Chain A
Amino acid sequence: MSNAQIEIQLIACIVAIACAIPGTFLVLRKMAMISDAISHSILPGIVVGFFITQDLNSPLLILLAAFTGIITVVLVEYIQKTGLVKEDTAIGLVFPTLFSIGVILIAKNANDVHLDVDAVLLGELAFAPFDRLRISGVDVGPKSLWIIGSILLITLGLLIAFFKELKISTFDKGLAASLGFSPIIIHYGLMTVSSITTVGAFDAVGAILVVALMIAPAASAYLLTTDLKLMIIYSICFGVFSAISGYWLAHGLDASIAGSITTMLGILFLVIYLFAPNKGIIAILYREKQQRTEVSLLTFLLHLKNHKEIEERHVNHLNEHINWQKVRSKTVLDLALKNNMISIDKNIVSLTAKGDEFTSQAIDYIITNEDTQIEDMKDDFFLFRG
């Protein structure tokens, strides 16, 4: 690998990490659309900042543009508060307006400005290594690496310092406020970090990829874990994985790096959406099927409990009697046998002691809805899980 290749991957990874952290909280706060809005409405801020500084990587430009991001959030909330339109409508009103102001500003000054809308939206990671930072003549690496690296350090510092505050104000705003943790300060803090990250990253990776890097890894992680810290760690890992694999995909296909990384993010989400152990589609379908079988099992066991007569308990009789197809009866019989709930003697089925107790407990649970007594049954049977 050449130096430039390593640098590109490094920048992509750091952008991915810097995006995953605020992204996790945006997803949990159901504010994914806000990040999209910010990513577009920073355009006028960037243009104005560029007029003033003439340098796309100037910290002043980053702050100016991030400020436009905050204005977006304030405007959206203001419009929403009037109660005339819903949040998504408010977002849809604000960001196209700001974005188009940026487009007009660029078009009006296109002659002497080296800046175009495509570059802002899509970025060009491949060029990132060419813009070097020199300190007293010494080359210390690509400028964007330094910028996004500094942003990441600040984000990490804030995350570690205010983890508890972020958690409580995201989960329960009311409690946070009553305990004296101002949810408003946390909210705008998060919006500021999201805006600064978006601006800091757009030059390298473009505004669209920033949105993808904020939302997709967090949404994937959300399907895999029930622990906030793990969710952040998974988001970071997914972001980094997509950054590197996306880079090599682009390399192989000779395609846009940002586009390939976004594609990898999409594929990763799809795979997790399908195969996640608890919240994945396949797991859900499997669980539903299992629950159906277990309901049948219970019906069957109850039938055995209620009928002591031999003729009611003959294997063949059961088919007709409970009115199931052969396959279903067989699945249920097998499941009952496997769990030692029944014994079959000369085609006559009887409940074992274990089966008898299980049936009573299960029926009791279904009637009383008292959870505590079936806690240990939850591990073996889907029926008793949520």
Chain B
Amino acid sequence: MEFPDFFQFHLPTRIVFGKGLSADFSAELAELKVTRAFLVTEKFLHTLGIPERVMTALQAAGVAVAGCFDEVVPNSEVALCERGAELARKAGADCVVAVGGGSSIDTAKAIALLLSEGGRLLDYQGAQTLTRPLKPMVAIPTTAGTGSEVTMVAVINDPESESKISLVDRFLTPALAVLDPELTLTLPKRITAATGMDALTHAVEAYVDIESSPFSDALAAQAIRLVSKLLLAAVTEGGDVEVRSGMQIASTLAGVAFNHSMVGVVHGMAHALGGMCHVVHGEANAMMLPFGMEYNLDARERKFAEVARFMGIDTRGLSERDAALAGIDHVRQLNQKLHELAGLPTALSQVGVPRDKLASVAGLAMTDGSMFYNPREVVEDEVLGMLERAH
């Protein structure tokens, strides 16, 4: 057994789970002592009536809806966050409620920050620069994958510097996460598959990277078990609320895990593929995960063997290395099944990534913060090699 020299485990988010909970979480709202909520959400969710459901719940709990900002797009930009914060300020909001996927929650974090502290978003780039709590934030995820409802990180696009800025601060962590699996019942197959693979990637990377601890390991392990058991069913039987519950829980468990130990080379590549070629985050992770696992195999053989066991593989009689390899093979098979069932892409060429762009993607990936936490030093040539093999 080897324990880290130092680790911290801190979970400021109150996590509540329940079928239908997004329609009534008044008990939790009462404790936040807020009166005017500013909703941050995505336009298409109106067609499912999800923001409306949350607004009704807020009003029933005596919290006025100060505004509903539904302009969030995948990979929100600085200007959008600053405009949202301005609207929230004018509306006199004293709390921010995110309803949506990872981008909505990250945008809400940026809005809560600017609403509470003022200034420009770029002023807060860094790590733990805030010194006091922000106006409380509530996160209600409508996908099962991002984990952002329990993390201290917000990633926002900055077109001016052609990069993503990262805000990392414990005070950015939402005060309340409302997990309602009913919100994910109608999630299309391909999004279910992609977000589920994002959750699996969070868990696997959190489990092996340099900042992992016994606490993050325990949560990552359970997330891997749940995703491995339930993801295919979530795609084929999307209306099954038990299956959706398990995926929602797995996603949040993985979120808490990677909020502590961070992610690694797979996310580094996925962020670059998203930034330069607009590859959907979960799909990029799914395609790169087996390659990233192979890349790190030598550095974490025992842990990858454990990952294989969490995935439900019978590794009796196998060496640690063979067990680890069986786990990697399992991920490839899972991707193949998700391709057949949900149309998840299995190669970068299928999502319009031009081969001649791979070198610049590799270059951009090298500047990603995730690379620092990877268990093995990341080398640009080898990143390019992985991207080429995944093409």
Is A bound to B? no
B positions within 8 Å CB-CB of A: none
